[in-house]
């Protein structure tokens, strides 16, 4: 009796420990279109990993292959060490939070949450307790006997989360779960999701096109483009040292200058930028500077890493001020915290400056233009 109990506990511990996901050379095609192109990705147990990219980059297809709704055309997917290729979704120890929640309208909130437990034959005596525990976790217990159709979007979102987590999955897959919520609720849920993930230690794979969401929650972010991973790193690295112009443009905002390099100097239509890396003279490059790295001052004082322009617009963004400055062919965005914002008027001549450390230089990929994030 105690033997089997101990074994069960060991088994449970082993299961709780598992939850790493490994994708090796995973490819998925739809007709001629390649949705996912030889993807390699290792997600550690207990990690919060975001797949970030614009629509059509293959992030949702990747998630659906982990869930089992799509089968890869090539490559291998392993969950907790075991290959799941060919294993139907109902036999995989992963659960999904769907974009539109997909709550069952004919069942109450509690019955929705109990759905997965019933399939795995959790005894009836244990069922109610597990459901209440899951509902408490998302603070929705008092709604247990209501129909999901009577709930708001944010409440449905919580139920969807509880319905997935109650099964104690090795991996939780989240398919743009916050995209249907309004901004304030979305930000609240971001915090809640992160806290929940930290508390449970479950592996979270989060699909989003919203860079803010990815930055605020993820341990690591996989920035995807055309079925491949462009950069896989933590939020700070992805933001501070983007691997390509594409990543730089997708994460946060950038001022891009296309020009020719000679050593550490980039000449771009009258703007001279000095970076920190030496490049072969004559290379076509794109230099990027974050709006918040630019200092704006009244007056005219051109030079290296300094340009003169005309202020054309000022917008208040709450905690910061945004300035739009035109200089020759360039239109430059500057973000300054409100307290330190200079007093300037539209139409005035201003000087923009930045330090060499803030100049990021990428090879010019004119063949592959940078897509704008859709949100």
Partner 1 sequence: MTALGSAPRRAATPPPRRRLRAPSFLLALPAWFWLLVFFVAPVGLVLYYSFGYKPSLFETVATDRLSFDRYLEALSPTFASVFLNTLWVGVIGTILCLVIAMPAAYWIATKVPAHRRGLMLGLVLVPFWTNFLVRTIGWRVMLAPEGFLSEWMVSLGLGPIELLNTRGAVLIGVVYNYLPLMILPLYVAFDRVEGPLREASKDLGADRVRTFLTVTLPLARPGIVAGVLFVYIPLMGDYITATVLGGAQGTMAGQLVASQFQTAQNWALGSAMAVVLILTTVLSAVVAAAMLWLVTWPVRFATRLRIGGAS
Residues that bind partner 1 (CB under 8 A): 67-69, 88-91, 94-96, 98-100, 102-108, 110-111, 114-116, 118-120, 127-128, 131-132, 135-136, 139, 141-142, 144-145, 163-164, 167
The beta-strand segments (E) located in 226-254 are 228-233
Nearer to partner 1, 116 or 249 (CB): 116
Query: In the bound complex, what is the minimum distance in angstroms from residue 114's beta carbon to partner 1?
Result: 5
Q: Are 120 and 167 in contact (CB under 8 A)?
A: yes
Query: In the bound complex, what is the minimum distance in angstroms from residue 58's beta carbon to partner 1?
Result: 19
Sheet holding 330-337, edge to edge: 295-298, 349-353, 306-316, 320-327, 330-337
Bridge pairing between strands 203-208 and 48-52? parallel
Nearer to partner 1, 196 or 243 (CB): 196
Query: In the bound complex, what is the minimum distance in angstroms from residue 16's beta carbon to partner 1?
Result: 18
Nearer to partner 1, 22 or 108 (CB): 108
Residue-by-residue DSSP string for 110-135: HHHHHHHHHHTT--HHHHHHHHHHHH
How far, in Å, CA of 338 to CA of 257, rounded? Answer: 26
Query: In the bound complex, what is the minimum distance in angstroms from residue 174's beta carbon to partner 1?
Result: 12
Give me the residue label for tokens 């930045």.
354
Query: In the bound complex, what is the minimum distance in angstroms from residue 11's beta carbon to partner 1?
Result: 18
Q: Which residues contact 189 (CB under 8 A, 6 or more apart)?
A: 154, 157, 177, 178, 181
């Amino acid at each position: 009796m105690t033997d089997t109990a101990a074994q069960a506990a060991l088994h449970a511990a082993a299961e709780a420990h598992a939850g790493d996901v490994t994708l090796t050379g995973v490819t998925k095609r739809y007709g001629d279109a390649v949705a996912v192109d030889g993807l390699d990705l290792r997600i550690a147990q207990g990690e919060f990993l975001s797949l970030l990219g614009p629509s059509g980059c293959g992030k949702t297809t990747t998630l659906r292959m982990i869930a089992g709704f799509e089968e890869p055309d090539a490559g291998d997917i392993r969950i907790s060490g075991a290959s799941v290729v060919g294993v139907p979704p109902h036999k995989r120890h992963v659960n999904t939070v769907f974009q539109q929640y997909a709550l069952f309208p004919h069942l109450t909130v509690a019955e929705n949450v109990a759905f997965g437990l019933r399939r795995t034959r959790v005894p009836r005596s244990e069922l109610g307790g597990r459901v209440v525990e899951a509902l408490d976790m998302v603070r929705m217990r008092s709604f247990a006997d209501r129909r999901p159709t009577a709930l708001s979007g944010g409440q449905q979102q919580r139920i969807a989360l509880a319905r997935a987590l109650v099964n104690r999955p090795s991996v939780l897959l989240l398919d743009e779960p916050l995209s249907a919520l309004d901004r304030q609720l979305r930000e609240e849920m971001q915090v809640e999701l992160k806290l929940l993930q930290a508390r449970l230690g479950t592996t979270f794979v989060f699909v989003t096109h919203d860079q803010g969401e990815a930055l605020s929650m993820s341990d690591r972010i996989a920035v995807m483009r055309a079925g491949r991973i462009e950069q896989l790193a933590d939020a700070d690295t992805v933001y501070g040292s983007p691997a390509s112009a594409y990543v730089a443009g997708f994460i946060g905002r950038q001022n891009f200058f296309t020009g020719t390099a000679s050593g550490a100097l980039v000449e771009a239509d009258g703007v001279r930028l000095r970076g920190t890396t030496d490049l072969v003279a004559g290379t076509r490059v794109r230099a990027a500077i974050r709006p918040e790295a630019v200092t704006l001052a009244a007056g005219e004082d051109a030079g290296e890493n300094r340009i003169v322009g005309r202020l054309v617009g000022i917008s208040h963004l709450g905690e910061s001020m945004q300035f739009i400055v035109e200089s020759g062919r360039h239109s430059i965005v500057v973000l300054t915290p409100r307290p330190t914002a200079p007093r300037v008027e539209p139409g005035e001549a201003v000087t923009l400056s930045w330090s060499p450390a803030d100049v990021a230089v990428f090879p010019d990929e004119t063949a592959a233009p940078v897509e704008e994030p859709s949100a």
